[in-house]
Amino acid sequence: MAAKQTQRWRGELLQDEPMSRHTSWRAGGVARHFYTPVDVQDLAVFLQQLAADEPLLWVGLGSNLLVRDGGFPGTVICVHGAVTMLEWLDDTTLRAGAGVTCAKAARVTTRAGLTGIEFLAGIPGTVGGALAMNAGAFGGETWTQVAAVETIDRSGQLHTRMPGEYRVGYRSVRGPENEWFLAAHFALQPGDAEQAQARIRELLAQRGASQPVQQYSCGSVFRNPPGDHAARLIEASGLKGRKIGGAQVSEMHANFIVNTGNASAADIETLLNQVQGTVEQQQGVRLETEVRIVGEHVDGQ
């Protein structure tokens, strides 16, 4: 893994770490190496000592990720619990680290009487993940509130970049290669703190009433196609409740695949592919996935 070693890193490096412990689906194989840095400086030191061709995977809460049963043949970097800075740059700009949960960022802003990212309370992931996919919920999208981002590259160099340096679309973000998000600068607007907090309570109640939040899932599996909803198309195809092994299309919300308790990553991926194929055959629409699928298959799968 390491190409050289000068200054010693300070974080925790695990070998053959089960990714089922670090993904919201609670399924998947092992990571060859799994690193949790102490802070950004420690992360930079660690990256500087990796081989240039070492495969890297960055995770927060693993809420939009499926690691195949054969595992990830490289190094996973976990920012949750590590890159968690949360500070005000001025009266209306919040600097939130990539490892901060979306819900916490939303709560902090509303308590300060600021509005703009209440919708993040409905996203079960971290700020880094929200930046990487332009996560959205209840009509809001992450990058509409971003004034700047901080990143780190493979050599451990830090950068501050503007939104104009990225191509941002619906659940899609493209920017400089081999850089990963460390923090977002959220530009917010003054508002009524009580109303903003009430809005968060309303969004969470709506989420709890319409989504299987008590079961293991990755959130929405498929992007909504233009002018339609993935859940409607899946339900119209008779797939609600469809099950393969321990994976099931949620009976509560058809755009969720849940782990009923013993699902393998292969169960989940097979069911996902079956949903995709059936909807295309019956509805004439090819659903695109939101979830990121990485790693290797087990022989025979």
- The catalytic residues are 171, 220, 290
Report the C-alpha gap between 241 and 247 in whole angstroms. 10
Residue labelled with tokens 């332009």: 134
Which residues touch 289 (CB under 8 Å, ≥6 apart)?
A: 221, 222, 223, 272, 276
Which residues, 6 or more positions from 300, have their beta carbon under 8 angstroms from its beta carbon? none
Residues with Cβ < 8 Å from 204, sequence gap 6 or more?
A: 121, 122
Question: DSSP 3-state helix, strand, coil percentages of the chain (rounded to 5)?
Answer: 30, 30, 40
- 244 three-state secondary structure: strand
Structure tokens at 33: 């190496």
The torsion angles phi and psi of 38, rounded to 5 degrees, stand at: -80, -40
Radius of gyration of the chain (CA): 19
Amino acid at 184: A
